[in-house]
Amino acid sequence: MIRLLLIEDEERLVASLTQGLRTADIEVTALSTGREGLQRALYDRFDIMVLDIGLPDQEGFTVLRKLRAHGSDLPVIILTARTSAEDTVRGLERGADDYMPKPFSFDELVARIRLRARNPGSGYDTITSSGMIRVGSCELDPVERTLLSGGAEVPLSPREFQLAQLLMSRQGEVVPRTEALEEVWGGAAKDNVLDVYIRYLRTHLGPDAIETVRGVGYRFVG
């Protein structure tokens, strides 16, 4: 079964698409904001995304840019009422795999989803076939929202878990401070808050679990 992430804020369209796609054996997770949709796209396992441009919190173009900046190759179909050639080119240049204007044919959308979707069950390099993100002796389950270190469950607050998930999903990469603050706190936190939460994680996981790259950010080494 294809796992599809639908990011669309028009409730009636979401309801009709969800019902129709499920009859076509496509499992749908529907979200209405770009921020939440980006988080789920990065840390859960989907085979394709259908993305609206006119979202309430940020443009779909911004979601797409951030998705590709994180290195995700998740196929994306833009579904929007904005049909100018400029918008089409803008979407494709930012990494969209397809662009469908509203109104659209449902049967055509299903055909494009099946054409563009990657093989169901494929995932990111740091995610196992069971969905766990593994780095060293640490295993993070983004569905159950648990983190194991050396086989023992680590008690984490929601913010601690979100930060650990961000760092672990970028195994071997340095996550810039500004990006961590934006992704975990929405940019609405003071810079030193990140340092406090890094100390919390090191207390749980060991002082060497997270490497500091001075002047840049942090890298999870496990």
Q: Which residues contact 49 (CB under 8 A, 6 or more apart)?
A: 4, 5, 6, 7, 37, 41, 67, 74, 75, 76, 77
Q: What digits encode the pLDDT tens for the residues 109-121?
A: 999 898 888 654 4
State the pLDDT at residue 119.
54
Query: Once rounded to an integer, what is the mean pLDDT over residues 25-45?
Result: 90
pLDDT tops 50 at residue 83: yes
Q: What digits encode the pLDDT tens for the residues 60-72?
A: 888 988 888 877 8
Strand 133-135 vs strand 138-141: parallel, antiparallel, or unpaired? antiparallel
State the pLDDT at residue 31.
95
Closest by Cα among 220, 74, 213 to 147: 220
Strand order in the sheet with 175-176: 175-176, 217-220, 210-213
Domains in the chain with CATH codes? 2-116 (3.40.50.2300), 133-220 (1.10.10.10)
pLDDT greater at residue 30 or residue 95: 30
Q: What is the token pair recorded at 148?
A: 């194991």
CB 107 within 8 A of CB 74: no
DSSP alpha helices (H): ranges in the chain?
11-23, 34-43, 60-69, 85-93, 106-116, 158-169, 177-185, 191-205
Query: Once rounded to an integer, what is the mean pLDDT over residues 76-88?
Result: 78
Q: Rounded to whole angstroms, how far apart are CA atoms 94 and 81?
A: 18
State the pLDDT at residue 101.
84
CB 28 within 8 A of CB 46: no
State the pLDDT at residue 217.
92
- Give the SS3 label for residue 101: strand
- Asked whether the whole model's pTM tops 0.85, one would answer no
Q: What digits encode the pLDDT tens for the residues 201-216?
A: 999 999 999 999 988 8
State the pLDDT at residue 125.
40
Q: What is the token pair recorded at 4?
A: 């599809």
Does a cis peptide bond (omega within 30 degrees of 0) precede residue 75? no
Q: What digits encode the pLDDT tens for the residues 110-165?
A: 998 988 886 544 333 444 434 578 888 888 887 778 899 888 899 988 889 989 98
Cα angle: 34, vertex 36, 42; to 5 degrees: 95
Residue 39 Cα distances to 36, 76, 193, angstroms: 5, 15, 20
Closest by Cα among 41, 30, 26, 44 to 74: 41
43-47, 70-74, 80-84, 177-181, range with greatest mean pLDDT: 177-181
Q: What digits encode the pLDDT tens for the residues 170-205?
A: 766 888 998 888 888 877 677 789 999 999 999 999
